[in-house]
């Protein structure tokens, strides 16, 4: 990510191929999109900013635990199939979501923005990467037993729904939601269970917007 953001001369490349899982793809995505916006003077901290589409393609040869992006774009996580798609020049446009909190850019995402149980599972699984895919089962079981509660509100976008390929953006402000709050009075048990992890709170209060196509 850091090399793409600062050092690489993008004019020397036709694309970027990464070998790994969804995490590796995320690193390349963040580095490339951030570099493009920086070169064009786009402030990523502005949720309503018009992001500049990336001219470079990102190729993925799957070697991760789940390979969600590969499954979503080509229906399989077979490395040979992915390599052949790259060789023949196949491409698949993807919508990119940006997450902001209090006017500060946090993350980009193309597959999933998780809050609550799923977010806690992923956060815990990062401490057990040596287990491989089994870490998700272990973390899911531990998170289930912790019996945490997650409060929030869903606010739908008011504008007409369109496909991202039409370059129409849709933004939703989720600032009304917060961790551990509810329209009903909390019980003492709920207060004891309330989570105060910053990453969970940030995800809850973030404004989400669909931006550019890759």
Q: Which of 119, 96, 112, 109 is nearest to 170 (CA)?
A: 96
Is 11 catalytic? The answer is no
Catalytic residue among 2, 11, 12, 22: 22
Please report which residue ranges of the chain form alpha helices under DSSP H: 2, 22-39, 68-74, 79-88, 117-125, 134-146, 188-193, 198-205
Give the CA-trace dihedral at 17, 18, 24, 28, to 10 degrees.
-30
CA dihedral 32, 34, 40, 43 (to 10 degrees): 160
| Catalytic residue IDs | 22
């Amino acid at each position: 990510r850091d090399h793409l953001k600062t050092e690489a001369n993008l004019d020397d490349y036709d694309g970027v191929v990464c070998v790994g899982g969804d995490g590796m793809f995320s690193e390349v995505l963040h580095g490339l999109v951030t570099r493009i916006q920086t070169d064009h003077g786009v402030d990523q901290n502005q949720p309503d900013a018009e992001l500049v589409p990336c001219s470079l393609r990102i190729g993925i040869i799957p070697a991760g635990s789940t390979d969600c992006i590969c499954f979503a774009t080509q229906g399989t996580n077979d490395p040979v199939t992915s390599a052949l798609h790259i060789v023949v020049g196949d491409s698949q446009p993807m919508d990119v979501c940006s997450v902001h909190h209090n006017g500060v850019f946090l993350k980009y995402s193309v597959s999933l923005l998780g809050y609550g149980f799923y977010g806690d599972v992923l956060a815990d699984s990062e401490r057990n990467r040596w287990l491989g895919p089994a870490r998700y089962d272990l973390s899911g079981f531990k998170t289930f037993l912790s019996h945490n509660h997650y409060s929030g509100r869903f606010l739908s976008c008011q504008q007409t729904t369109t496909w991202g390929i039409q370059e129409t953006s849709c933004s939703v402000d989720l600032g009304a939601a917060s961790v551990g709050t509810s329209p009903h009075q909390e019980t003492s048990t709920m207060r004891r269970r309330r989570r105060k992890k910053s990453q969970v709170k940030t995800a809850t209060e973030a404004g989400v917007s669909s931006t550019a196509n890759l």
